Amino acid sequence: MKKMILIASFAVMLAVIMSASENGVPTGRTSASQVLIPQGETPPDGGGEYTAQPMDEITEEQREQIKLEIRLNIERLEYGGKIAPASPEAVPLIWPVQKAASFAAFNVDAISNYVDHNAAFPNQLRDWNCGTRTYDVSNGYNHAGIDVFLWPYSWYTMDQQGAEIIAAAPGVIVSKSDGNPDRSCSLSGGQWNAVYIRHADNSIAWYGHMKNGSTTTKAVGESVAAGEKLGTVGSSGNSTGPHLHFELYNAAGQLQDPFQGTCNLMNATSWWVSQEPYRVPRLNGLTTGGAPPVFPACPNPETPNIKTVFAPGEQIFATAYFRDQLPNVTTTYSLVRPDGTIDQTWNQTIQQTFNASWWWWSRTIPANAPTGNWKLRAGYSGNTFDTPFVVAAPVATVSGRVTTPSGQNLRNAIVTLVDANNVRRTATTSSFGLYSFDNVAIGASYTITATTKRFRFTPQVRTISGNLSNVDFIGLE
């Protein structure tokens, strides 16, 4: 089985979504209590389907203005010899979103909407696979692109620039826009931040809703390579949340759907180098925490309550985030001890299909748990996902001050901490007479002494039950 290791903590969960609709935009989530769980399995303590998946709208006026600007720019570039004449060669596309190299996650994206192939409206929907993963609105707009949204951690990932928009094919920038607000939560108008690329065959790709200030520094007329960063995912313009709207036109200016399927009558073949299936079941995130995730209102960043160090006997919250979670596929979760043995395990099998879903369970680390490097493990769809965490004896900080009999601070005094096994640690006081010991085991007793060349000090014996401050030493004449 292919194994994926999460090296660093994720920071955060997705925004709390209200159950009502706004401007025709679905919001809310299916709770864990509403999900069908087979008998004999432990249901999750929380989570559910994530239904507030972003959507957008580009008005006809905006669309025509964009097309006009692109056409005028191309004419100017052709006249100046800065863009080559179109050729009939095929232009295969790579996936236009990638995780930033420095961002800690398994994956950062999922699909909320495809191109709508049913021209009727409203609620007359048909995607390339003859499904309904698309939308239209009552004014006659049929979704004309692919919406790739951030999952999980949409707003946090956007704020950290964790999801990059890259060129799906080499080409020339023929238009771009930036400087527009990027925290839209509704279809209330506004201009987006976007980059438009003309390919060698004269097809044009639109990359919209970018984060303000993130678009490439390259100017109109400059070339980009396939895979080159164009910006980061945002929620600028007419958008209900962070996502990339990817829209494609052929050399004749006709809308294309890069995905080929039974119900795609726009183009006979796929545009992708390798077309992914309609459903891509995978685990996008697996986290440990000190509490369940918290969902603030859009557009505030999420609070994941991530925690990676636990004491024996402490409660741990395990949370999993899925893209395209399928029915009757069992996920097996385990807490794995440092020696590789299983401490505890549980299963989950859902009976529905979810574009995006999340689930959390509360478990207790045994009071006699061995200390060391543990793993939260999830086995799903033939893959094993591990998130590391640490079980360590609870520790505290011991600190204080060393002074003369008259109360003056003593610099460079030596303070010694000795445990019952005669293991010694030393600290040297600062110019303010201060010292500190970190990672002192709770529950143990220590003898603490101070020494200087001039003064004597009375030793102190302390049993550590938590952080200790003001363990002070006053010199004796």
CATH code of the domain in which 467 resides:
2.60.40.10
What pLDDT is stored for residue 15 in this prediction? 30
Residues 82 and 212 in one domain: yes
Residues 71 and 197 in one domain: yes
What pLDDT is stored for residue 304 in this prediction? 87
Number of residues assigned to the chain: 477
What pLDDT is stored for residue 36 in this prediction? 57
Q: Which two tokens stand for residue 88?
A: 């009939």
Residues 162/99, Cβ–Cβ less than 8 Å: yes
Check residue 262 and report its DSSP letter: T
157-191 pLDDT tens trace? 999 999 999 999 999 999 999 999 999 999 988 99
Burial 16-54 (b: 16+ CB within 10 A, else e): bbeeeeeebbebbbbebeebeeeeeeeebebbbbbbbbb
Residues 169 and 229 in one domain: yes
| 464 inside domain | yes
| 265 inside domain | no
142-160 pLDDT tens trace? 999 999 999 998 999 999 9
Residues 178 and 248 in one domain: yes
Which residues span the domain enclosing 382? 281-391
What is the Cα–Cα distance from 395 to 440, expressed in whole angstroms?
A: 5
Residue ending a domain, choose from 391, 412, 447: 391
Residues 228 and 193 in one domain: yes
Residues 356 and 301 in one domain: yes
| 7 inside domain | no
Residues 460 and 371 in one domain: no
pTM for the model stands at 0.81
What pLDDT is stored for residue 105 in this prediction? 87
Task: Give the pLDDT band of residue 25 (cuts 50, 70, 90).
Answer: very low
| 276 inside domain | no
Burial (CB < 10 A; 0-12, 13-18, 19+), residue 459, is: exposed
Residue ending a domain, choose from 256, 291, 318: 256
Residues 263/217, Cβ–Cβ less than 8 Å: no
Residue ending a domain, choose from 348, 374, 391: 391
Check residue 221 and report its DSSP letter: T
What pLDDT is stored for residue 22 in this prediction? 30
| 356 inside domain | yes
Residues 385 and 400 in one domain: no
State the average pLDDT over residues 290-308: 92
| 16 inside domain | no
* Amino acid symbol at 35: V
What pLDDT is stored for residue 37 in this prediction? 59
Residues 227 and 291 in one domain: no
pLDDT for residue 33 is more than 60: no
Residues 242 and 293 in one domain: no
Residues 309/350, Cβ–Cβ less than 8 Å: no
| 183 inside domain | yes
| 14 inside domain | no
* CATH number of the domain that residue 302 is part of: 2.60.40.1930
Instruction: Specify the number of domains making up the chain.
Output: 3
Residues 336 and 222 in one domain: no
Rg (CA), the chain: 29
* CATH number of the domain that residue 72 is part of: 2.70.70.10
Lowest pLDDT segment from 103-107, 217-221, 263-267: 103-107
Residues 80 and 142 in one domain: yes
